Amino acid sequence: MTRTCFGSILRGFTVLAVGIGSLGLPSASSAQGQSDFLYVANQAAATISIIDVASNEVTETIDLQALGFSANAKPHYVVVEPDGSFWYVSLIAENTVVKFDRANQMVGQASFEAPGLMVLHPGNGLLYVGRSMAATNPPERIGVIDRGSMSIDEVDVFYPRPHALALNESGGQVYSASLGVNQVASVDVRTDFVNLTSLSGEQHAIVQFAVSPDGRTMVGTTQLTGKLLVFDLTAPNRPELVRSVSVGAQPWHPIFTPDGRLVYVGNKMANTVTVVDARRGRVVEVIEAEGIAQPHGAVTSPDGQWVYVSNNNTNGDYVSASGAVVGTVVVIDIETAEVVKVIEVGAGAAGLGIRSAH
């Protein structure tokens, strides 16, 4: 294991929050932290939509071009501090992770080649960063950002195309996986020691992980085999594959419900969302509805009522009233597994992050 330190560079641009159709300052509710907010990275639009969870309406749109980034910035993923004080977005084509404050003002940056998925450790002040799927031959390392200074180190994981990332806080591990080979890395958050686990069988291309609320189980989605892999985390540094569940074509970002009973996962090439019984390891629902069009990211609402699933919709399977090509976020009632609302956002909606005001 080696670590290579790189500095961060802060651009000297004035930060603007862009409302729908016009420039404007952050809303009063955003500045005062009175609401829960959902952040949507619109990868094809170089924007970030901000949704008020109370109303499930877009209240602001941040235009990254107004901050000095390119039209091809490709915002991909968002993570939020537990207290909502800051949030972070990975910009694939800018090779940058950007830090925003609660009022949506840009306050820092870290340089990292082709950043993709991220996971935030709430206790040690670090943000872990994987590589974008768009990067065909990135360094065999994940990033470790000090969230205070935005300085960045890199940790070797020894395999090509590290992509999936998840945190097991109770076990003190960050999990990464390769798109190129069937290997999973367990990184000790205290020592950076890396333990590799190899999976037998056909190549999976693991897209993303999710760890259960009790820290005992992890699931991973596979782009090439259409599976939800289930790992036992009894030994946190050695995830044991115990089961695989067939879901739809190209399952993307899985999410456990807050009680740990269910796993929701969108299937990008099937335009469906699969619901899996986490304990029994079996499919209990397959959701097909308007607005589910190349599903990508998934998060649950802070109150545990909703699952939000973003949708790229680059194929135009969903058509807005104006005929525009837009991304969507569907709001799914966890208890009924029904889509209760379709929220239109920017093109190519990808990763999601959520902020709780409480």
pLDDT average, residue stretch 332-343: 97
Q: Is the model's pLDDT at 32 over the cut of 50?
A: no
Helix (H) or strand (E) holding 298, with range, is: strand 295-300
Q: What is the pLDDT of residue 357?
A: 78
pLDDT tens digits for range 48-88:
999 999 999 999 999 999 999 999 999 999 999 999 999 99
Q: Which of the two residues, 25 and 105, has the higher pLDDT score?
A: 105
Percent of the chain with pLDDT over 70: 90
- 64 φ, ψ (degrees, to nearest 5): -70, -25
Report pLDDT digits (tens) over 133-188. 999 999 999 999 999 999 999 999 999 999 999 999 999 999 999 999 999 999 99
What integer best gives the mean pLDDT of the chain? Answer: 91
Concatenate the DSSP letters of all residues of 68-122 into one string: T--TT--EEEEEE-TTSSEEEEEETTTTEEEEEETTS-EEEEEE-SSEEEEEE-T
- Rounded to whole angstroms, how far apart are CA atoms 352 and 75? 11
Q: Tally Cβ neighbours within 10 Å of residue 214.
A: 11
pLDDT tier, 324 (very low <50, low <70, confident <90, very high otherwise): confident
Chain segment 81-122, per-residue pLDDT in tens: 999 999 999 999 999 999 999 999 999 999 999 999 999 999
pLDDT of residue 18: 37
Residue 2: which residues within 8 A CB-CB, separation 6 or more? 156
| 327 contacts 54 by C-beta, under 8 angstroms | no
Residue 20's pLDDT is 34
pLDDT class of 33 with cuts at 50, 70, 90? low
CB 18 within 8 A of CB 67: no
- Exposure of 337 in the CB half-sphere (CA atoms within 13 A): 17
Mean pLDDT of 330-339: 97
Please give the share of the chain, as a percent, with pLDDT higher than 90.
88
Distance of CA 49 to the CA centre of its chain: 14
Containing 309, the helix (H) or strand (E) segment is strand 306-311
Tens-place pLDDT, residues 184-236: 999 999 999 999 999 999 999 999 999 999 999 999 999 999 999 999 999 99
